[in-house]
Structure 1
Amino acid sequence: MTARPLLVLQHAPWEGPALVARALAARAPGVELVTRSVLDHAAPDLPAPADLAGLVVLGGPMGADDDARHPGLAAERSLLARAVDADLPVLGVCLGMQLLARALGAAVHAGHGTEIGFAPVEVLADDPVLRPLGPAPTVLHWHSDAAELPSGATLLARSTVTPVQAFRAGSALGLQFHLELDAPDLEAWLASPAAGELAPGGASELRAAAAEVFPAVVPGALSGLAAFADAVRDRA
């Protein structure tokens, strides 16, 4: 019997699954990772949760409610809601977390507060993906929108600017920050249109900060993402 795949919904060419793919390859080598972009399709042919081992929804520069320009977002939110109902392992990152929150009935506030760069978050509750990072990990932020906490979800992390940095809703984990990146992936971002959001000298500052932060945070991120990969493997 063929294992069910892990579906990754990607919104920008430079924002790929990165460490998620590495964790999956190490912990669930028999599970195929399938990456798709459905942003501009009004009625994309997405699989049912029953046909998946897991779902990852990545970040991107658009807003979670930007259906007028990107009609596929509505289908993504619908799939996210059905995936949570089906107890499918789900990981939403940055925009993906905001789409997850919207799928679960929470609001997303555009332009709530910009966070770009490395800064700590305060971990408030235990979760297997965040546990290896410790109580106040320094992580990469790249966003200005912020989601509210969905009803019934557990708040896992916060920062001064962003009250909801991570939450757990059943089988689904939302991360506003970018736990999935390492140095090569960051370089891809800095060579992309996303770098236009940086102040002069910002790219050099990010590289220098990454050289200090990534040696400590990447092993913890891989360890935490292994817990997600294990859940995917068990579902496959």
Structure 2
Amino acid sequence: MGGSNPASHFIMIQVRDIRVPVTPLPAWRTVRQYGVPPLRPPRENPLKVLVFQHVAAEHPGSFRDFMRADGVIWDAVELDEGEAIPALEGYDALMVFGGPMDVWQEEEHPWLVAEKAAIRAWVATGKPYLGVCLGHQLLADALGGKVGLMPRPEVGVTDVSLTPDGQASVFFTGLPPTFPTLQWHGAAVLKQPEGAKVLAHNDHCAIQALQVGARAFGIQYHVELTDDTVPEWGEITEYRCALEAITGPGGGALLVKAVEEKMPVFRKAAEQLYRNFRATWG
């Protein structure tokens, strides 16, 4: 993040008169970005995931626990804070999460141009991609699909159903044909990119999930939920307005309760989806 990093200087650690040089991590590899240390020692060449974030409150969420258990290293780039996208080489997967902006707001958020270019370049390599909410819409937009406003925001706990392509996709292995999800969006993918498969839908949004090639996936709904997700998102003005447009004032408390009731189901589905995505990394 911003400011100087005192840890960027050479550090010496003295252990019983033996001075051992320690090379610090680059400034952008923070504890927040890596998550907590892995439960087991990392493999000799640990898998690395690049994460694009658009607001601090929208992060990998429960996926942090799953990556931690796998010994996966993850580097987050907070695009809305001006952090630069690093070289894509050396990463095994790219995850792109949500945010309050829309894919067409390039004048207000110029970094969207570079982000879309990076997504196109990444998908062209054939490496695994997972986009959630805005990340789902960015995948579609970057590859020539169409994203636009919905007649009415979709916010709350709603069911999503798999299409025949979804039921056949490795991405949804182990999930039932219809399952509950948390939705919080006012824009949607209106047309998938050429050659993309629609994997899931519901009455509010015809493209709840899509697949491009063998290893690029986007989901409109949220799977990365933790106990703090809804309260944190309720503090974001755009999200609160979308919620209150559906529920009226005070809808946040109702949504917290609805999510709490479904959290065991959400958590199980999130882990299954992560495992399915993880299986595509090779």
The two structures, once aligned, show a CA RMSD in angstroms of: 1.9
Match of 1:185 in 2: 229
Instruction: Provide, for residues 15-48 of structure 1, a one-character-per-residue CA deviation record: whole Å limited to 9, x for no partner.
Output: 110122222222x31x31111112465x934322
Q: Is the 8 A contact 1:8 1:55 kept in 2?
A: yes
Query: Which of 159, 163, 175 is equivalent to 1:120?
Result: 159
- Give the whole-Å Cα distance in 1 for the aligned partners of 2:174 and 2:256: 24
Question: Scaled by the length of structure 2, what TM-score is found?
Answer: 0.75
What is the deviation of 1:75?
A: 1.1
Residue 78 of structure 1 aligns to a residue in which SS? Answer: helix
Helix, strand or coil: the match of 1:13?
Answer: coil
- CA contact 2:49–2:91 (8 Å) conserved in 1: yes
Residue 85 of structure 1 corresponds to which residue in structure 2?
124
Q: Give the letter aligned to residue 242 of structure 2.
A: E
The partner residue of 1:32 within 60, 73, 76 is: 73
Aligned counterparts, 1:53-92, within 5 A: 53-92=92-131
In terms of fraction of residues, the more strand-rich structure is 2
Q: Which runs of 5+ in 1 are unaligned?
A: none
Structure 2 residue aligned with 1:197, among 218, 242, 248? 242
Query: 1:79-129 CA distances to partner (integer Å, 9 max, x unpaired)?
Result: 111111111110001111111001111011124431000000111122333
* Separation in structure 2 between the aligned mates of residue 89 and residue 157 of structure 1, nearest angstrom: 19
Residue 109 in 1 paired to residue 148 in 2?
yes
1:227 aligns to what SS in structure 2? helix
**Aligned-partner Cα distance in 2 for 1:61–1:214:** 23
Q: Give the aligned partner of residue 186 of structure 2.
A: 144
The CA distance in 1 between the partners of 2:116 and 2:205, in whole Å, is: 22
- Partner in structure 2 of residue 162 of structure 1: 205
Which AA in structure 2 matches 1:224?
L
The residue identity in structure 1 corresponding to 2:68 is A
Output the TM-score relative to the length of structure 1: 0.89
CA–CA separation in structure 2 for the residues paired with 1:160 and 1:179: 19
Between the aligned partners of 1:231 and 1:34, the Cα distance in structure 2 is 19
Quick check: 2:185–2:242 contact (8 Å CA) kept in 1? no
Structure 2 residue 265 is matched with structure 1 residue 216: yes
| Contact 1:106–1:150 (8 Å) recurs in 2 | yes
Q: Name the counterpart of 1:44.
A: 84
Q: Give the whole-Å Cα distance in 1 for the aligned partners of 2:148 and 2:232.
A: 28
Alignment partners' CA distance in 2, 1:76 and 1:196: 26
Separation of aligned partners in 1, 2:67 and 2:194: 30
Aligned to 2:34: none
Percent of paired sites with the same residue: 30
Letter in 2 for 1:216: V
Indicate the SS of the match to 2:98: coil
Aligned length: 229
CA contact (8 A) 1:11 1:37 kept: yes
Larger Rg: 2
| Unaligned 5+ runs, structure 2 | 1-43
Aligned counterpart, 1:22: 65
C-alpha distance in structure 2 between counterparts of 1:83 and 1:113, whole Å: 32
1:228 paired residue number: 277
